[in-house]
Structure 1
Amino acid sequence: MSGHLSRRQSLDGGRTDILAIVTAGLAGGLAFGAILYALGLLDSVGRLLGAPDMLIGTILLGLASVVGGFAYLGLGKIRMFEDDVTDPITGTTMGVMFGLFVWLVGIVVVLPLWLRLFEYSPPFPFVHWQSLLGLLVYGGFVGTLYPRVSARLGR
């Protein structure tokens, strides 16, 4: 931990934090969306709402990217992670681990149960390697960009 930003400079919940995490979340979501699009899977994101459509999938991915960014920022409220989240180097590692956690809980366990509500029956557990790749990239973007954008805006 190099402590790029001190605790006082970041995670104050102010406008800088909000703008920085929304920016990082959307950038990560754009990268994740590009991967899904390249693999022909972006429309499948809409299935989460029972509407397999590329526009619905893109909107849902954008919203989820921002919500995921705030969840990542919430890690900084946990004392043992507060310096890691605000440092670009350890933030990248934290972001990738965050992406892995979201994949394990969200995709592998929760997604197949949720999709049953819409009469889709993926296997349980749902080991979807493409979404793992996307979530690792998403987390890496968020973890790297949040402290950099926050520092830039805080000047």
Structure 2
Amino acid sequence: MALAKVGGYAAVGLAAMGSSMGTGIAGAAAIGAWKKCYQQDKPAPFLLLAMAGAPLSQTIYGMIMMILISGAAAKTPGMWPLYLAVGVFGGLAQMFSALFQGRAAAGGCNSFAETNQGFANDLMILGVVETCAIFALVFSIMVMA
């Protein structure tokens, strides 16, 4: 039972690590982009905050995985290897999705601050990366069913 719970926490722990890395990368880019705007006496776009915060959703997906793994482990504790594997690999999928979403958001922050154009296109790319995290969540649910 303890190892099943380790799998549950691995899902949210790894996802949160990725979210912190992704938001840190995107946030640093947003701060740099705002600095450029201030230097050029341009208004600093508040919308960069949306891009910088995009990788946070993976932590929520990791939390959902943790809750589902804990519930499943309570019903079938003998399946602990499955729950451990789903938590670790699902958490890693969330981590990498958040990390690379942050990298993509950093590029979007730089682009939008310089041109004040393309915000919707930038968000679409972030959505594509987000889709990997959603797939990982859905597939983990399917594996445990």
* TM-score grouping bracket, smaller chain normalisation: 0.3 to 0.5
Higher Cα Rg, which structure: 2
The alignment's TM-score, normalised by the length of structure 1, stands at 0.33
Larger helix percent = 2
TM-score, scaled relative to structure 2: 0.34
